[in-house]
A and B are shown apart, each in its own frame.
Chain A
Amino acid sequence: MSAVWLSVVVVGAATVLFKATGPVLLGRRGLPAWLAGPVSVLAPAVLAALVVTQTVGGHRELVADARLVGLGVGAVAVALRAPLLVVLVAAAAAAALVRLI
C-alpha cells in the first residue's frame, strides 16, 4: 500500500473510532480527568508544531525561503480577521511573488 493510501485508511479509521467512542462505547461515563485535561490542549500544541515545521523545516536543517514571507503575509491577514480562503490566497500569492523576483 502506498504512503498516501496507508495514511488515508489509518487516519480515517482512527477518526471514526474517536468520534464513536462516546456515543457507541462509553454512553454516560466520561473520560478520566488525567486524560481529558491534556487532550484539551493537544490541538494547539500540534498546530503550533505544524506552523513551525511547514515553514522552516527542511531535510534535517532549518530553511528560510519564500514560505516564511508567505506565513508573514498570512499572519497579517489572520490579524485582520480575514476569511480563511483570503488568508490562504494571500500567503500563497506572497510566496509565489518572492519566487518570481
Chain B
Amino acid sequence: MRARYLEGARAVAPIGVAAGAFGLSFGVLARSSGMGRLAPLVMSATTFAGSAQFAAASILGNAGAAAAAIAAAVMLNARYAPIGISVAPAFDGSLLRRLLQAQLIVDESWAIALKRREGFDVRVLLGAGGLLYVCWTGGTALGVLLGDAIGDPNRLGLDAAFPALFLALLVSQLDSRRTVIAAALGGAIALALIPFSPAGVPIVAGAAACLVGWRKA
C-alpha cells in the first residue's frame, strides 16, 4: 500500500526540484506584480497549477482587470476537467476524500502514474502529486520572501521573464498538427486585436482559435 505512494514520490522527485524552482519564480514574479505576500501563497495552495498562476500574475501586473486575469487562468486550467475524467474510475472512498485527492492531479503526477510499466495506479498519482504540492507551495513561500528583497522588478527585466516562460510552456505542448494550428491562430488573433481592444480581450479571442484549430486539422 505505502510502497505505491513512495514509488510515485520517488519517480517525480527530479521534477519536484524543478517544481520548487518554478514555485520560487512564481513567488518572485507574483510579488513583483503587486500581488502582495499572502495572495500568491493562497493561490499556490488552492490553484496548484503553474501556467494559470503565472498568467493571472502577469495580467494583474500589467494593470489588467481581474476579469482578464480570471478568464486566462480558467481557460488554461480547463484541461483538468478531461484529465480528471480520464482517471476518475480509479478514485474511491467518500465524496470529500475524492474531492481532496483529485486536487493532487497535475500534468506531471498524471503523466507519471499513467506511464507506469505495471499500469495506472492512483496511489502513484497521489504520492507524486503530494510531493509536487509540497515543492510548489514551499518554493512559492521562498520566492515571496526573496521578492521582498528585489527592488523595481522591471529594472531587473522580470516583465520579460513572463513571455519567455509562456513560450517554454507552449513549446512543450506542440505535439500535434492540431496544437500547432491552434497556437499559430491564437497568437495571430491576439496580435491583431491588441491595438483595438482592452487588455484581456485578445487572449480570450485567441483562445477561440482552439475551436478552429480542432475543426481544420
Contacts and interface: CB of A to CB of B under 8 A. Distances in A.
Max chain B C-beta neighbours (<10 A), residue from A51, A66, A87: A51
A28 B88 contact: yes
Given A4-B36, A45-B207, A95 B84 contact: no
A92 B158 contact: yes
Contact of B47 (A15, A46, A99): A15
Contact of B210 (A26, A38, A56, A77): A38
Interface residues of A, number: 79
B194 A48 contact: no
Interface in A26-58: 26-31, 36-58
Interface string B67-86: 00110111111111111111
Interface string B15-33: 0001001100100000000
A100 B185 CA distance: 35
Interface in B130-169: 154-169
A19 to B, nearest CB: 5
Determine chain B's interface SS by DSSP, over half rule. Answer: helix
Interface in A1-35: 3-8, 10-16, 18-24, 26-31
A6 B74 CA distance: 13
A12 B43 contact: yes
B199 A41 contact: no
Contacts of B191: 52, 56, 62
A55 B79 contact: no
A51 B187 contact: yes
A36 to B, nearest CB: 5
28 contacts: A3-B65, A16-B99, A18-B77, A19-B80, A23-B91, A24-B98, A31-B85, A42-B182, A44-B173, A45-B206, A46-B76, A48-B186, A48-B206, A50-B55, A52-B191, A53-B194, A54-B58, A54-B166, A55-B163, A62-B194, A66-B157, A70-B157, A70-B163, A71-B160, A75-B167, A84-B21, A87-B165, A95-B160
Shortest beta-carbon contacts, A-B, top 5 = A70-B160, A74-B164, A49-B206, A95-B157, A12-B46
Interface of B: 18, 21-22, 25, 34-36, 39, 42-43, 46-49, 51-53, 55-56, 58, 60, 62, 65-66, 69-70, 72-89, 91, 95, 98-99, 101-103, 105, 154-171, 173-174, 178-187, 189-191, 194-199, 202-203, 205-211, 213-214
Interface of A: 3-8, 10-16, 18-24, 26-31, 36-62, 66-67, 69-71, 73-75, 77-78, 83-85, 87-99
